[in-house]
Structure 1
């Protein structure tokens, strides 16, 4: 049995380090999305469906009998799509981005900026050109805890920026494309809903979880980066869910 953690944007597996330290389980792996702090594979288009296919291949290659899959942000979106198409690959799943597969989902302002030709490229050119301290200040301004912002921004480069742009531009109509299959998922699921997340609407998240047959855990007072803000609370909620799955 293995816990597999899938990070989001603009992140690397290190975003999970505080949560991993708080978990009592030792069977935990944090995967790295192609192009995020590593080279972009040749011919890899960095589209949403390519990342889903990559995640499925990662799980299949691990050679473990049971996987408890957990995704954050775009990692959570990949979880949503994977369990819609191949639920047999996991024992259970957790996402904080169930809304991506709901008809009422709407992209936030930053996503729409990245989806705009020219504007997205300019955004990442400016970010990469900034000194690390200035980049960290900008990330803290969008909710990344100050003590983690410097480490996060050090890993943002032009390769990651290009993958982010291709990913978001492949997902302009993600709700329309993904919502039909995200219903009545036959393996246990949990939607985490941080009350202070400005990017993923709580109401849409709850409604999407209901369509999928997933439980909902409210993370009151926490924001988008809940695993950095209060890793102990996040770990406790995950372990509660896994204990219920095992019954």
Structure 2
């Protein structure tokens, strides 16, 4: 499970959930992710316009220490989808694994907002 070890070492993912997550990454999943990334020759130009079409209430949470996607990207995403909140968390790339309690509380509050 080299990928799991890389997640733990490089992205501060807790070991147990990281290993569990990696155990669910099978061949078709790897293939689909790789095809998606390889198909996007100009990610910003190709993907950035679409969030403006989001009509559902939105919430963005982002790792303030994320070395993969800087927090400014999360802030831009929040503006694009008209998010009610952009929550910068004191963590790395895998916010749900690194700050599960904070994410859960924020999601519950978001889901309980009046429509």
User: For 1:198, what is the secondary structure of its paired residue?
Assistant: coil
1:153 aligns with 2:22: yes
Unpaired runs of 5+ residues, structure 2, are: none
69, 83, 91: which is aligned to 1:200?
69
Mind listing any 5+ residue stretches in structure 1 that lack a counterpart?
Answer: 1-131
Deviation at 1:135, TM superposition (A): 4.1
Residue 217 of structure 1 pairs with residue 83 of structure 2: no
The equivalent of 1:142 in structure 2 is: 10
Provide the secondary structure at the position in 2 that maps to 1:228.
helix
Larger radius of gyration: 1
Contact 1:145–1:228 (8 Å) recurs in 2: yes
Per the normalisation by structure 1, the TM-score is 0.40
Q: For the residues of structure 2 that align with 1:169 and 1:240, how far apart are their CA atoms?
A: 37
* Mapped contact 1:191–1:214 kept (Cα < 8 A): yes
Give the alignment's TM-score, normalised by structure 2: 0.77
- Cα shift readout 1:144-168 (whole Å, capped 9, x = no counterpart): 2112232233333443332221111
Out of 226, 231, 238, the position equivalent to 2:95 is: 226
Structure having the higher helix fraction is 2
C-alpha contact (below 8 Å) 1:184/1:213 kept by paired residues: no
Q: Distance in 2 between matches of 1:149 and 1:221?
A: 18
Closer, same or farther in 2 for the Cα pair 1:138/1:237, shift >3 Å? Answer: same
Q: Is the 8 A contact 2:61 2:95 kept in 1?
A: no
From the superposition, tell whether residues 190 and 177 of structure 1 become closer, same or farther in structure 2 (CA, over 3 Å): same
Q: What does 1:76-91 align with in structure 2 at a 5 Å threshold?
A: none
Runs (4 or more) in structure 1 with deviation over 6 Å come to none
Structure 1 residues 152 and 193: alpha-carbon distance in aligned structure 2, compared to 1, 3 A threshold: closer
What does the per-residue CA deviation read over 1:166-211, in whole Å, with 9 as the maximum and x for residues that have no partner? 1111122232123234327433211112212222221122123213
